[in-house]
Homo-oligomer: A and B are copies of this chain.
Amino acid sequence: MYLELDGRGPLYDQLTRALKASILDGRIAAGTQLPPTRELADELDLSRTTVLAAYEQLRAEGFIAGRVGSGSYVSDLQARPCNHHAETSIPAPSRYAQRAREVRNWDIPRIHRGLRYNLQYGNPLVNPALNNAWGRELARAANYTRLVVNEVAGLNALRKQTCDYLARRRGVQAEPDDLLIVCGTQQAITLISRVLLEEGDRVVLEEPHYFGAHQALVAHGVELVAIRTDEQGILCSELPEQSPRLIYVTPSHQFPTGSILSLQRRKELLRYAEQHQCWIVEDDYDGEFSYESQPMPALRSLDHGDRVIYVGTFSKVMFGGLRLAYMVLPAALRVDFRNAKYLGDMSCPVIEQSALAHFMEDGGFERHLRLSRKELKSRREALIAGLKEHARDRVEIADTPAGMHLVVWLPGYDQTRCDALIAYAHDQGLGLYPMAPLYLHAPPRPGLMLGYCSLSVTEIREAMQLFGQCLDHFQAR
């Protein structure tokens, strides 16, 4: 099937138009079975979601029939209700859903699959011992927990353990009543949007920033203001004069560049929030993984105005599929967030909370953290050593001894060359990810985000050797 995308608007729209044109001019005849979404996605190098969305659109408009799974067939358009009829019979979804379509169809970096070395951020540190220990905790919890819907705010035992942990490790003083257990950081962002933000409200983000927050906020309909960051974190001097409702920051380890917000900037930020009467969200997504010094205390611990909403997650340190995170809430917001959580999904699953509370109480959690920290530190060191040996001065390493990923800048590259490097590396079996999609505006310089969490030290060494060869290839051209 020959299809040409016209490059206008979201990819799924382009694909929909291309398929429609082919159907209307008869290149694809009535009754033809369209290729399975996965196949077409591979062929056109699009994500499967994009192809799925295009097929849905064609189906909704009556161009194709049949269900995904059992095959999609081109309709006989003469025999069908005409196009515009089918369109009007389906009421438009909400403004939220329309914006969500847009953001979900952004040209996000393709996720590489089946490569020898995949430096994707978010892939987990695989640890069979954790699977095992966690399985035991779950079985225990299933037998010891009352299997009813638990308190909205989360299981009390887990909130208590989390408070102890926060006081000890992050310098955050909180009572169990200040806490809300949520299903991951993404849910925290959505609850924050619902409780605090109307369409059109102004929200400050760091530039660059976490893509999932960006998407959720745009879908909610807010106006985003992206403020530059440097090696000391967000540039407070560039905060807008017009008060935003909310400032979303990652002070302990700026996502993704890795800088740590300096004490002076922390104070400036809190002062700004006080003056402008806005809330601050402190996303402490990987504050647990700091490899050298004592980590800097959380912004929340400096916050005397009770304006910081602290968000921490268990999914990063345990595993992504856990979907458990927590919020420390200012007193004035506690009731509203509990209401939103209750109306949204009542509360988080009870057994996993109970298992985690016991895992923390029993010391298993901290043990797991220590081991992970040690393992990640050696992976990080192997990555840096490999970069120094094979990439040498052709990359600039954004160095913070923390986290589960590293950013390298590519001096002398423009975005086109960076994209070509990524494509070339892909062909060599190396999955690299660009920084560009993590910016609201054009990125000041091209860079790569290297996730080292899921590769062994040996694999990292080999991956860096391959990376060096890819850079050689581009230098030679």
Known: A183-B345, A346-B323. A143 touches B132 (CB 8 A): yes
For chain A, give the interface size range: 35 or more
Which of the segments A187-195, A365-373, A410-418 contacts the partner chain? A187-195
A324: which B residues are within 8 A, CB to CB? 349
A150: which B residues are within 8 A, CB to CB? 321
User: Is A219 close to B, CB under 8 A?
Assistant: yes
Is A68 a contact of B177 with CB atoms below 8 Å?
A: yes
User: Is A60 close to B, CB under 8 A?
Assistant: yes
Most buried by B among A49, A100, A219, A324: A100
CB within 8 Å of B: which A170-218 residues = 175-178, 182-184, 186-187, 190, 194-198, 212, 215-216
Q: Which of B49, B195, B219, B346 makes the CB contact (< 8 A) with A94?
A: B195
User: Is A79 close to B, CB under 8 A?
Assistant: no
User: Is A457 close to B, CB under 8 A?
Assistant: no
User: Is A22 close to B, CB under 8 A?
Assistant: no
A146: which B residues are within 8 A, CB to CB? 321
Q: Which of B148, B194, B349 makes the CB contact (< 8 A) with A97?
A: B194
A-B contact pairs, 16 of them (CB 8 A): A52-B335, A89-B277, A91-B196, A91-B277, A93-B196, A94-B196, A97-B195, A103-B343, A132-B143, A134-B142, A135-B143, A138-B142, A148-B321, A149-B323, A183-B345, A183-B349
Report the Cα distance A134→B111, complex, angstroms.
35
Mark contacts of A269-281 with chain B using CB atoms, 8 A cut-off: 1 yes-contact digit, 0 otherwise. 0000000011100
Known: A331-B56, A332-B90. A148 touches B320 (CB 8 A): yes
Mark contacts of A68-107 with chain B using CB atoms, 8 A cut-off: 1 yes-contact digit, 0 otherwise. 1110000000000000000001110111110011011000
| Count of identical protomers in the assembly | 2
Q: Which of B69, B100, B245, B345 makes the CB contact (< 8 A) with A190?
A: B345
Which residue of chain B has its CB nearest to the CB of A342? B104
Which residue of chain B has its CB nearest to the CB of A144? B131
Is A319 a contact of B124 with CB atoms below 8 Å?
A: no
Report the Cα distance A469→B139, complex, angstroms.
44
A348: which B residues are within 8 A, CB to CB? 183, 323
Is B321 a contact of A194 with CB atoms below 8 Å?
A: no
Report the Cα distance A101→B334, complex, angstroms.
11
Mark contacts of A347-367 with chain B using CB atoms, 8 A cut-off: 1 yes-contact digit, 0 otherwise. 111111000000000000000
Known: A340-B97, A344-B186. A331 touches B60 (CB 8 A): yes
A184: which B residues are within 8 A, CB to CB? 345-346
Is A194 a contact of B336 with CB atoms below 8 Å?
A: no
Closest beta carbon of chain B to A355's beta carbon, Å:
8
Is A93 a contact of B336 with CB atoms below 8 Å?
A: yes
Report the Cα distance A146→B127, complex, angstroms.
11
User: Is A123 close to B, CB under 8 A?
Assistant: yes
Closest beta carbon of chain B to A332's beta carbon, Å:
4
User: Is A136 close to B, CB under 8 A?
Assistant: yes
Which residue of chain B has its CB nearest to the CB of A155? B321
A340: which B residues are within 8 A, CB to CB? 96-97, 100
Q: Which of B186, B321, B339, B345 makes the CB contact (< 8 A) with A147?
A: B321
Report the Cα distance A134→B139, complex, angstroms.
8
Is B345 a contact of A186 with CB atoms below 8 Å?
A: yes
Is A138 a contact of B97 with CB atoms below 8 Å?
A: no
Is A319 a contact of B148 with CB atoms below 8 Å?
A: yes
Report the Cα distance A344→B216, complex, angstroms.
8
